[in-house]
Every structure is written in C-alpha cells, then in structure tokens.
C-alpha cells in the first residue's frame, strides 16, 4: 500500500489524511505539538464546498456542527441596526471540526510531538527527519504545516508571508457568561461594526464543548485594526521585553495592551459587542498574504496554508485546504499509479485557485491596509468606505467563493 507522510496535524493535514485513506493509501500525520490542539478553538465561517468535502471524509456536517444566524446587520456606535440583510452563513468552530476529523482517524495514524526538520527524496521515496532524531519513509510527503511551513522553507525559501498592515483581535465568550438579555440581543446576529478605517465582525458559534445547544453556545468577535510595523512590534513584545516575531502566545500579551483594546472597544464599537469583548481576554493574529509560485517538488506537495494564505475576510482558508485535499486524492486516483502525473495535475488546478483566493481577500482588506499610510496618500474609498458596500460585498463573497471554484474547474471535487 503506498504511504503518505503528512506534516502538520491541523485541519488541512487531517483532511488530506482522510481523503488519501479513502483512495486506499496509508496516510500518517506528524504534528509538532505534543498534545491535542483543541484549545485554539475560535469561530470559523464555512462554505458548502467545505461541508461537501467533509462528507467525502466521512464527517456529517449536521445541526450540531454550526450555527446559522438569520440576519446580517451593521450596528452603529450606539448599537442601533443601521443596515440589515438576510443571510445563511453557517458558523462553526475550529475545534469542532478538528475534533470530528481527529476522532475519525485511527490513533496510530496521528503522531504528536513530531517536528519535521528536513526532507530528502530519491527515485524510490521520500524521507522525513524529525527533531527527536527519528525518521520516516514514504512515497509522498505533504507539507500541511501552515503559514511558517518548514517544508516550504526548504523547497521555496523565497516565498515569505507579507504582513498586510493590520491585525485581527479575537475574542470568544460562553453564552453562560453573558447576561441573558445581552445574549438575546446578539444571538441572531452576524453583526458588523465599522469604526473609521476598521472592521469588526461578530457571530454566535458552538460553545466550549463544541455544543450548539441553548445555553451552551458562545459568541465570537473578530476585530480588524490597522497596526503599523512599529505598533505590531510593540504589542508582540511580552512583559519581559521579549519580542515574538512569529506570533506572541495569547497569555503573554501585556495586560496594558489588553486594557487598551477594551478601552477602545468602549469608545468605538456598539455597546452590546463592547460589553462582550470586555468580559474576555482578547488576543490578536497579524494578517498576512502568502502566494507560492509552486506547490510540488518531486514527491513533495504543499497544501492548505503552507502554500497560500488568503486574508480571512471570505472565511475561505479551511475550505481551500479541503479542496486541496480533495484535488490531491482525485489526482492520485486518476493517474493510476503515476505519482508525477498526479502531482502535476494537482498543481495545475490548485495553484491558480490559491492565487485567485489570495487576490479576492486582498481586495476586501485593501481598505484596511491603506489606513497605515499617511492620510494625504489615501484616496476615495480608502478614506470613506460606505457601510452598505462593506456589508453587501462581504455577504456576496460566499457566492463568489462558489464562482471561483467553478471557474477553476473544481466543482467535480465535492
């Protein structure tokens, strides 16, 4: 039985493992973390294409997997609804999907504490070497190791993430920790707040135990804030003066930085959303674009965020990882044992698709990136973004995702 070594055990790596197993491959996931990753859990927008690929992986996306708030609204500074649009977006949680995918994989096929350091390949196979001194041999290696991929770093050192000029502050609060009246105010809302030059989106998600039952849900906030390089360096520096260039762990964010975001929430956003954010300990993720010129290097393929990172506006990262996984499995199945031909097809289809998604999301975020330029250098839409345009364009992106998938010939994947 042919064997795939999958580096990275987040959603991308797990979906590749399931879909390769479904075509008769032995697939083993190697994750550098020593224990389960479920604590990362925050909200995650879904698309029908993701749901369909999960189904191919044997995971049924039923009502317990997500919440579909019926109204998309824009709230003003006083908390009044100033724009409203019906919408049908289902919001799930990162840990909800992770749990389902991990539980469905036989335990020996997922190895914790395996940090890849080096890949070597020859005509008959590929060898992965890990930081613990062990190595594994397979027919194919898939780098699903995310934005700072070790695999990409070895084969494509010139492809580096580019900071977009803003960060996403994130917060999530259990329904049980919210006064019932406040929860009732927000539970039906996919809500936007648009302070000058910024963008905040909030929505209900499955709760702590991935629960969608009444009383056990949670509310999720993403607040995009322009942050220049100096300010990013400052908020990425811990109380001991250490700078965390690759991302500061949330518990190390300095208390005064957290206090400042809460004070800004009070000043700038709708009071019902600010009241939720103030009850949490928010953390942030810098937003990057990553665009790779290649995805395949002999017996090595990149998938998910390791190859392309689109800004999160269309909530498409996990869906793209799912389509990468499906395309890889289908290409291998179609090529009848010719791995080189299979990987060439995979790259031919997924490379332009990844590029198109990066471009689509860069477009939506261009307004936010522009805010770190001096005001005199900004113009038109960069200075005054119409609220209705933001809301309508954001909701329309769900459909655009389907159009991009179709225009790249990927509808057969799901």
**Per CB under 6 A, which region of 20-28, 145-153, 350-358, 398-406 contacts ligand FAD?**
145-153
C-alpha span between 89 and 195 (Å, rounded): 23
Instruction: Kindly state the smallest distance separating residue 379's Cβ from ligand FAD, in Å.
Output: 27
- The pair of structure tokens assigned to 321 is 């990882």
DSSP code of 228?
-
**Per CB under 6 A, which region of 30-38, 80-88, 180-188, 370-378 contacts ligand FAD?**
30-38
Q: Residue 224 belongs to what H/E stretch?
A: strand 218-226
DSSP code of 372?
T
When asked if residue 202 is in the footprint of ligand FAD (CB under 6 A), the reply is no
User: Which of 6, 17, 45, 236 forms a contact with ligand FAD (CB under 6 A)?
Assistant: 45
- The pair of structure tokens assigned to 137 is 């041999």
**Per CB under 6 A, which region of 53-61, 105-113, 134-142, 310-318 contacts ligand FAD?**
310-318
When asked if residue 41 is in the footprint of ligand FAD (CB under 6 A), the reply is no
User: Which of 25, 30, 169, 353 forms a contact with ligand FAD (CB under 6 A)?
Assistant: 30
Nearer to ligand FAD, 142 or 338 (CB): 142
- The pair of structure tokens assigned to 166 is 């803003």
When asked if residue 66 is in the footprint of ligand FAD (CB under 6 A), the reply is no
C-alpha span between 277 and 271 (Å, rounded): 10
When asked if residue 318 is in the footprint of ligand FAD (CB under 6 A), the reply is yes
When asked if residue 143 is in the footprint of ligand FAD (CB under 6 A), the reply is no
**Per CB under 6 A, which region of 61-69, 109-117, 206-214, 336-344 contacts ligand FAD?**
109-117
Sign of CA dihedral 371, 373, 375, 376: negative
Instruction: Kindly state the smallest distance separating residue 78's Cβ from ligand FAD, in Å.
Output: 27
Contacts of 386 (CB under 8 A, 6+ apart): none
Instruction: Kindly state the smallest distance separating residue 173's Cβ from ligand FAD, in Å.
Output: 17
C-alpha span between 31 and 34 (Å, rounded): 8
Burial 112-143 (b: 16+ CB within 10 A, else e): eebebeebebeeebbebebeeeeebebbbbbb
When asked if residue 227 is in the footprint of ligand FAD (CB under 6 A), the reply is no
Q: How many CA atoms lie within 13 A of 379 on its CB side?
A: 1
User: Which of 77, 99, 115, 208 forms a contact with ligand FAD (CB under 6 A)?
Assistant: 115
Interacting residues toward ligand FAD by CB under 6 A: 7-13, 30-33, 37, 44-45, 114-116, 144-147, 150, 168, 222, 285, 304-306, 312, 315-319, 321
């Amino acid at each position: 039985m042919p064997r795939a070594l999958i580096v990275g055990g987040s959603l991308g790596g797990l979906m590749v493992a399931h879909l390769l197993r479904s075509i008769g491959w032995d697939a083993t996931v190697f994750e550098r973390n020593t224990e389960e990753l479920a604590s990362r859990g925050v909200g995650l927008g879904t698309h029908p294409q993701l749901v369909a690929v999960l189904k191919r992986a044997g995971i049924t996306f039923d009502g317990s997997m997500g919440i579909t708030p019926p109204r998309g609204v824009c709230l003003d500074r006083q908390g009044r609804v100033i724009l409203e649009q019906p919408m049908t977006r289902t919001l799930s949680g990162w840990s909800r999907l992770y749990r389902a995918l991990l539980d469905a994989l036989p335990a020996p096929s997922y190895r914790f504490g395996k940090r890849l350091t080096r890949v070597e390949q020859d005509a008959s196979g590929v060898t992965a070497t890990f930081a613990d001194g062990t190595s594994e041999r397979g027919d194919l290696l898939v780098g699903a190791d995310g934005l700072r991929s070790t695999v990409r770093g070895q084969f494509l050192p010139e492809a580096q993430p580019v900071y977009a000029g803003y960060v996403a502050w994130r917060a999530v609060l259990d329904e049980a920790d919210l006064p019932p009246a406040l929860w009732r105010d927000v539970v039906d809302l996919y809500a936007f707040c648009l302070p000058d030059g910024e963008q905040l989106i909030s929505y209900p998600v499955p709760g702590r135990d991935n629960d969608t039952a009444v009383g056990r849900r949670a509310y999720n906030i993403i607040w995009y804030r322009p942050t220049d390089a100096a300010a990013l360096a400052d908020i990425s520096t811990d109380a001991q003066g250490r700078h965390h260039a690759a991302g500061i762990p949330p518990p190390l964010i300095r208390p005064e930085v957290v206090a400042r975001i809460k004070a800004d929430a009070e000043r700038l956003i709708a009071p019902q959303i600010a009241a939720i954010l103030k009850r949490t300990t928010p953390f942030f993720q810098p937003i990057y674009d990553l665009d790779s010129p290649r995805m395949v290097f002999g017996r090595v393929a990149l998938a998910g965020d390791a190859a392309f990172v689109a800004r999160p506006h269309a909530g498409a990262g996990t869906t793209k990882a799912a389509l990468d996984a499906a395309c890889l499995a289908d290409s291998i199945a179609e090529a009848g044992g010719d791995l080189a031909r299979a990987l060439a097809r995979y790259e031919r289809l997924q490379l332009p698709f990844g590029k198109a998604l990066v471009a689509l999301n860069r477009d939506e975020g261009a307004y936010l990136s522009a805010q770190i330029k001096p005001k005199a250098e900004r113009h038109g839409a960069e200075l005054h973004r119409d609220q209705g345009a933001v809301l309508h364009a954001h909701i329309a992106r769900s459909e655009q995702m389907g159009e991009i998938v179709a225009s790249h010939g990927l509808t057969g994947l799901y």
